[in-house]
Amino acid sequence: MDNALVVERNGSLLVRVRACPGSAREGIGGLHGGALKVAVRAPPERGKANAAMAKVLAAAFGLRDSQVVLDSGELSRDKRFLISGLSLAGFEEKLNRLLHEKAACCTRRPLAAREGRGKKAGMKSQGLFERVLEAVSAIRAHSDLRPKYGIILGTGLGGLAEMIERTRRIPYSEIPHFPLPQVASHSGNLLLGTLSGKPVAAMEGRSHYYEGFSLEEITLPVRVLKSLGVERLIVSNAAGGLNPQFERGDLLIIDDHINLMGTNPLIGPNDDRLGPRFPDMCRPYDPQGIRLAEAIALECLMRAHKGVYAALTGPCLETRAEYRLLRTIGADAVGMSTVPEVIAAVHAGMKVFGLSCITDLCLPDALQPVNIEEILETARKAEPKITLLVQKLIERWN
């Protein structure tokens, strides 16, 4: 409880807050050390700053002043406020929106420029290299670990993070230009530590195109991982199974992909410091990594297939006709992520391994409405298999 940002107590929420008195502006300042930073103009004298912080919290979460009360830490920098009339899910939803809006004020550009339209389309890639370096510098302030392996954990697959012997856990909100995930199952932290005795950087959650981010923003973390020292990238996701031989909970070792998102993260001027103008995509997924994963799955008696992943934008799921089309053109699974990150990783010269957890079956002649809770539960049950496979892969993938 001491390190938790928020816990439930007798129907109310106990929120850990870091005081920032004497600030030029008032408001929510992000997350720091597991606490919510709240900036107020009031001086740090007892009572003044505390009352001002309660008002800021009430305004930020749409509550009455009487619903936010100081619980403990009156004289300390870290305090706990008791919030009534707000559910845990409601708190998390509003907090994610607040943090995303704060990040958007600093990192988002006009839509026409982001999508490469209008007279300023040529400015799209200006400054990307510098933004990567700024993010790397912020991470280095937390840890000097030089990870060789990067891991991107997808929907419902965050359990692997618990296996990492971590040296640092850095919220995305503390890394300049990192987009903040808005999907509830993506927590939004960068972990730096070791797995299977190897130095790793693991992303707890990713951002998606359907959330309103540009592909340049979505793939910036991949470029940051490369600049931190990552040479091999493991990307995971939850996907719908198109192949009739698949079952819920099966693993798909991605052998190739089909980009049906209608765009590409490399569109626009190319910065040669980040990668070549025309990267080859003959084998975007490392053949050695695929062979090792197949051998590991066989040794551990896992149901694992090799196949093709198709990426669409979402957020709506596909129609029966679209599932038939996808199967006809050779896709074995479908999802709403991964491909932009893989393209950026190949552009940066990284070796890539992709893994999908089949969480639902997309068979057009036997299609049923999707239950998101069932998808998350299927991913949760598959976590031990994914964790074991990734651990053993990192041991052998050199």
Express each pLDDT in 303-351 by its tens digit: 999 999 999 999 999 999 999 999 999 999 999 999 999 999 999 999 9
Q: Between 77 and 355, name the one with better pLDDT.
A: 355
Structure token pair of residue 41: 């103009």
Same domain, 338 and 193: yes
User: Do 74 and 128 reside in the same domain of the chain?
Assistant: no
Residue 18 lies in a domain: yes
Lowest mean pLDDT among 93-102, 134-143, 353-362: 93-102
Q: Which of 71, 88, 105 finishes a domain? A: 88
Residue 186 domain boundaries = 122-396
The number of residues making up the chain comes to: 398
**Percentage of the residues of the chain whose pLDDT score is greater than 90:** 62
In whole angstroms, how large is the CA radius of gyration of the chain? 22
Residue 156 pLDDT greater than 50, yes or no: yes
Residue 182 domain flag = yes
Quote the pLDDT of residue 44: 64
Higher pLDDT: 340 or 90? It is 340
Does 105 fall in a domain? Answer: no
pLDDT, residue 129, reads 94
**Domain-embedded: residue 328:** yes
**Distance (Å, rounded) from C-alpha 116 to C-alpha 122?**
7
Same domain, 146 and 57: no
Same structural domain for residues 132 and 266? yes
Position 107 pLDDT exceeds 70: no
Q: Could you tell me the two tokens for 8?
A: 């439930």
- Say whether 166 sits in a helix, a strand or coil: strand
Residues 178, 274, single domain; the answer is yes
In this structure, of 32-46, 232-246, 255-269, the range with the lowest mean pLDDT score is 32-46
Instruction: Please tell me which residue, 392 or 100, carries the higher pLDDT value.
Output: 392
> Helices 372-396 and 287-299 sit at what angle, rounded to 10 degrees?
110
Output the pLDDT for position 5. 85
Residue 43 belongs to domain with CATH number:
3.30.1200.10
Output the average pLDDT for the chain.
Answer: 88
Q: What is the count of structural domains for the chain?
A: 2
Q: Which of 56, 28, 31, 29 is nearest to 42 (CA)?
A: 56
pLDDT given at position 119: 35
Q: What one-character-per-residue DSSP string does 101-143 give?
A: HHHHHHH---HHHHTT-STTGGGTTTTHHHHHHHHHHHHHTT-
Residue-wise pLDDT tens digits, 246-296:
999 999 999 999 999 999 999 999 999 999 999 999 999 999 999 999 999
Same domain, 277 and 321: yes
* 78 and 185 belong to one structural domain: no
| DSSP code of residue 250 | -
pLDDT exceeds cutoff 60 at 8: yes
pLDDT of residue 74: 73
In a domain, 388, yes or no: yes
* 3 state SS of 344: helix
Q: What is the structure's pLDDT at 396?
A: 97
Average pLDDT over residues 55-77: 87
Query: Which pLDDT band holds residue 57 (cuts at 50, 70, 90)?
Result: very high
236 within domain boundaries: yes
C-beta separation of 294 from 306 below 8 A: yes
Do residue 272 and residue 154 come from a single domain? Answer: yes
Q: How confident is the model over 198-227, as a mean pLDDT?
A: 95
CATH at 179: 3.40.50.1580
For residues 130 and 235, membership in a common domain is answered with yes
